[in-house]
Amino acid sequence: MHGLSVIVVTWNSGREIVACLRSLKRSLRGISHELIVVDNHSGDNTCNTIFRCFPSVRLICNRTNTGFGAGNNTGLRRSRYDHILLINPDTVANAHALRTLWVFLQEHPAVGVVGPEQMNVAGRFLFTTSKLSVGGVLTFLIESVLWRLTSARRIVFSPIIVVKQLNAGCIMARRDILGATHQWFDPALLFYGEEFSFFPRVCARGLKIYF
């Protein structure tokens, strides 16, 4: 089915999840989509908050903390659309970012995964593994200096480049990038490091990764 399945894995995310889900609903207007939250046995009010404030969200409450990778795998098994967005619960999407990623994937069939520029709560650009190149480092340094001088929360340089991997905190991909499998990530990895096994498998299938 053509559309976008959004998967958010939570763990004690009650303070962040409302802003995240609101931004997703706002950013995805006009795109057929579903919102899936996989909660890893939170000890706070995450599940209750989602159930009360977002009744249309498909909420999966695990009885144990299965970790980030396994949580996303669970969401993939329960999803129905042919495109997938994985996004962290502490992320707030701006009005145009997700639509830009969506359109890019529709227009470039050879691309398997795309990821956006990311900022922290102070509006500073994050240095992610996507920028591990001479050009990426220089761009990051120049933008950081300009931010300090002007407090401009904007992307000064916006080249669209092919990379070997992305920050898995926000990626959009075609559902079939790894074939029919729903196990994109190694379930043995509870937190961090999922990218190092996932993206090489995507590249091995001849698909491009864009940042």
Write the DSSP string, 98-142: HHHHHHHHHH-TTEEEE----B-TTSPBP--GGG-SHHHHHHHHH
Residue-averaged pLDDT of the chain = 86
pLDDT for 196 equals: 78
**Model confidence band, residue 188 (pLDDT cutoffs 50, 70, 90):** confident
Residue 187 exposed, middle or buried by CB count within 10 Å (0-12, 13-18, 19+): middle
Q: Which residue has the tokens 């949580």?
A: 71
What mean pLDDT is predicted for residues 131-152?
57
pLDDT for 118 equals: 76
pLDDT for 158 equals: 56
What mean pLDDT is predicted for residues 181-190?
82
Tell which wins on pLDDT, 96 or 82.
82
pLDDT for 157 equals: 47
Judging by DSSP bridges, how do beta strands 33-39 and 83-87 pair with one another? unpaired
Contact 77, 182 (CB under 8 A): yes
**Model confidence band, residue 211 (pLDDT cutoffs 50, 70, 90):** confident
Tell which wins on pLDDT, 210 or 195.
210
Residue 83 exposed, middle or buried by CB count within 10 Å (0-12, 13-18, 19+): buried
